[in-house]
């Protein structure tokens, strides 16, 4: 009984430590981020073991052509062209690889309706280097995203 | 102590469950593209987490045609007449020559065009790209055996080639203003792989532009350029103007005077352009082994080739990032004259405004054919 109690005590302490220790893992990606063009804000959240990012703010939310909220009109799939951009999940399926890198995901560019392979590197707690690429990383472009917080 | 141990299993379960519960609570029913709505007004009133973080303007605007990372193309000009003049001044390095003018029929001139342009640094506050290209122009003459003029014989045997390296630096100054630098080094002539020219015959071009990006739909800039686009060296002002209308149907893509196009966007993967491009280079007459007794190599001769290409262009996505470009247009000869460098120095004529420059040694006239160009391109994210 005493042996079991020690095991349980150790588990309890470990679980407490896990609960309150500073987050140095993949969850640092969670938050609201702004791409360099400032046209959108993207909320990254964790779903299961993977990370996803959705558009939660648009600088110009209304489509000047239709006078209605912008939709994914450049999507090559006609069925998706009426999906609102607000709430659109543009980052998908990222897993944390360690060493401040999230990979195996994709990024969607609503301006041209293309989906690119993507790797995310965190250069510091408030800055992400998001590289979309075609096939190999060399054929790509890096965008720098900044972390946002609610104004004090 | 035993009292506490009694509650340990419960505490373990509660604590552990508590740790994971936030994750479990986040698991939605699916991970589709669309997600349930939330109160997005929460994200109106935010600021950068890091102090001192700044916004910088992007090098692109909405609606622009995609940049080409890698391009494989083929250019074809239909038949035209080429009247090769005799040498105007016979003060050459190798003595006097008596050469007849000759009219010749070019059945076609054509060649492949390869290019790449890869981002090396792509950061918010700096974009640096490196590129390279190889273009060739082959000349097929009617009755090639009858050619006697050394320039025509050389064109028939070797054509003209350009291999170049280029760099582009985009430096945003803030969220509105930017600087743009483009530079290139071109190795142009009638060389062959077995008989290459020295690298000191390279031609250097550059442009520096100061610009503004007032909105997502417009960017403009003014600057200066050193260019060989009309064949010989010039220093000219340049104007950048890219724009897209609010409905993303029409736009302009312009770096005047080098190229000006009006764009009609059918959709984000189908675009039509109408406009022109100035094209040209100065080609060193290096390989003369087919021209009996005439040593153009020693005479420091260069063909100043400049042409205006009035054209329609259709660009469309074949599959995802693979785009095809089809051009059809009219090639207008601006200059195809032979110039002689004195002591290797360029003759800067400033469009004839500088009077004391030596005249061209050959003035050649070309009629203007239709041309076509097709390319397959890997486009940039």
Range of the domain at A80: 23-147
Distance from the Cα of B320 to chain A's closest Cα (Å) equals 7
Distance CA B107, CA B114 (A): 23
Here the CATH number for the domain that contains residue A51 is 2.40.128.520
Distance CA B274, CA B334 (A): 20
- Examine residue A12 and state whether it is found in any structural domain, yes or no: no
Q: Is B168 a residue whose pLDDT tops 80?
A: yes
ipTM for the predicted complex comes to 0.74
Would you list the DSSP string of B213-232? Answer: EEETTEEEEEEEEEE-TTSS
Distance CA B317, CA B365 (A): 39
CA-atom Rg of chain A in angstroms: 19
- The answer for B 19-38 residues in CB contact with A (under 8 A) is 19, 23, 26-28, 31-38
Would you list the DSSP string of B5-46? Answer: HHHHHHHHHHHHHHHHHHHHHH--S---S------GGGGTSE
Q: Which residues pair with B265 in a beta bridge?
A: B271
Q: Which residues of A touch B23 (CB under 8 A)?
A: 46, 48
Per-residue CA distances from B112 to B81, B197, B352 (Å): 22, 21, 33
- Examine residue A125 and state whether it is found in any structural domain, yes or no: yes
Q: Is B297 a residue whose pLDDT tops 80?
A: no
Tokens of B39: 């109160």
pLDDT digits (tens, 9 = 90+) for B343-357: 777 777 777 777 777
pLDDT digits (tens, 9 = 90+) for A84-105: 999 999 999 999 999 999 999 9
- Examine residue A45 and state whether it is found in any structural domain, yes or no: yes
- Examine residue A11 and state whether it is found in any structural domain, yes or no: no
- Examine residue A6 and state whether it is found in any structural domain, yes or no: no
Q: Is B27 a residue whose pLDDT tops 80?
A: no
Q: Which residues of B touch A126 (CB under 8 A)?
A: 48-50, 53
- Counted domains in chain A: 1
pLDDT digits (tens, 9 = 90+) for A26-76: 999 999 999 988 889 999 999 999 999 999 999 989 988 888 999 998 888
- The answer for B 246-265 residues in CB contact with A (under 8 A) is 246-248
Higher pLDDT, B307 or B11: B307
What integer is the mean pLDDT of B69-74?
96
Q: Is B380 a residue whose pLDDT tops 90?
A: no
Tokens of B101: 């003018």
Tokens of B10: 């419960």
Write down all domains in chain B, each with its CATH number in brackets: 68-379 (2.40.160.40)
């Amino acid at each position: 009984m005493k042996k079991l109690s020690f095991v349980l005590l150790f588990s309890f302490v470990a679980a407490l430590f896990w609960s309150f220790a500073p987050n140095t893992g993949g969850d640092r990606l969670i938050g609201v981020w702004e791409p360099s063009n400032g046209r959108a804000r993207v909320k990254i959240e964790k779903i299961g073991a993977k990370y996803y990012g959705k558009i939660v703010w648009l600088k110009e939310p209304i489509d000047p052509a239709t006078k209605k909220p912008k939709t994914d009109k450049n999507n090559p799939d006609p069925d998706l062209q009426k999906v609102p951009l607000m709430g659109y999940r543009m980052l998908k399926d990222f897993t944390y690889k360690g060493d401040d890198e999230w990979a195996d995901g994709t990024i969607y560019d609503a301006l041209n309706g293309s989906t690119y392979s993507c790797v995310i590197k965190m250069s510091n707690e408030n800055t992400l280097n998001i590289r979309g690429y075609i096939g190999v990383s060399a054929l790509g472009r890096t965008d720098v995203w900044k972390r946002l917080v609610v104004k004090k | 102590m035993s009292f506490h141990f009694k509650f340990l299993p419960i505490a373990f379960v509660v604590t552990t469950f508590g740790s994971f519960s936030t994750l479990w609570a986040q698991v939605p029913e699916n991970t589709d593209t669309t997600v349930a709505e939330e109160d997005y007004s929460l994200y109106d009133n935010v600021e950068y987490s890091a102090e001192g973080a700044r916004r910088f303007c992007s090098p692109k605007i909405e609606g622009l045609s995609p940049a080409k990372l890698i391009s494989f193309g083929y250019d074809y000009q239909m038949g035209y007449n080429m009247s090769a003049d005799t040498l105007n001044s016979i003060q050459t390095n190798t003595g006097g020559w008596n050469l007849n003018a000759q009219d010749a029929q070019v059945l076609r001139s054509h060649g492949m065009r390869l290019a790449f342009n890869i981002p090396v640094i792509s950061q918010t506050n700096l974009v640096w790209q490196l590129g390279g290209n190889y273009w060739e122009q082959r000349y097929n003459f009617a009755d090639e055996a009858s050619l006697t003029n050394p320039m025509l014989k050389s064109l028939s045997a070797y054509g003209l080639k350009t291999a170049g390296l280029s760099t582009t630096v985009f430096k945003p100054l803030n969220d509105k203003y930017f600087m743009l630098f483009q530079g290139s080094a071109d190795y142009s002539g009638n060389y062959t792989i077995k008989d290459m020219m020295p690298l000191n015959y390279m031609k250097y071009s550059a442009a520096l532009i100061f610009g503004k990006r007032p909105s997502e739909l417009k960017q403009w800039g003014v600057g200066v350029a050193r260019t060989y686009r009309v064949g010989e060296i010039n220093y000219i002002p340049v104007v950048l103007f890219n724009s897209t209308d609010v409905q993303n149907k029409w736009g302009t893509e312009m770096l005047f005077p080098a190229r000006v196009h009006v764009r009609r966007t059918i959709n984000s993967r189908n675009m039509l352009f109408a406009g022109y491009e100035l094209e040209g280079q100065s080609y060193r007459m290096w390989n003369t082994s087919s021209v009996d007794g005439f040593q153009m190599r020693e005479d420091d001769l260069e063909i100043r080739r400049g042409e205006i290409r009035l054209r329609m262009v259709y660009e469309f996505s074949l599959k995802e990032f693979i785009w095809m470009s089809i051009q059809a247009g009219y090639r207008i000869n601006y200059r195809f004259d032979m110039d002689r460098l004195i002591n290797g120095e360029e003759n800067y004529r400033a469009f004839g405004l500088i009077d004391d420059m030596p005249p061209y040694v050959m003035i050649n006239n070309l009629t203007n054919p239709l041309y076509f160009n097709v390319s397959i391109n890997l486009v940039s994210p």
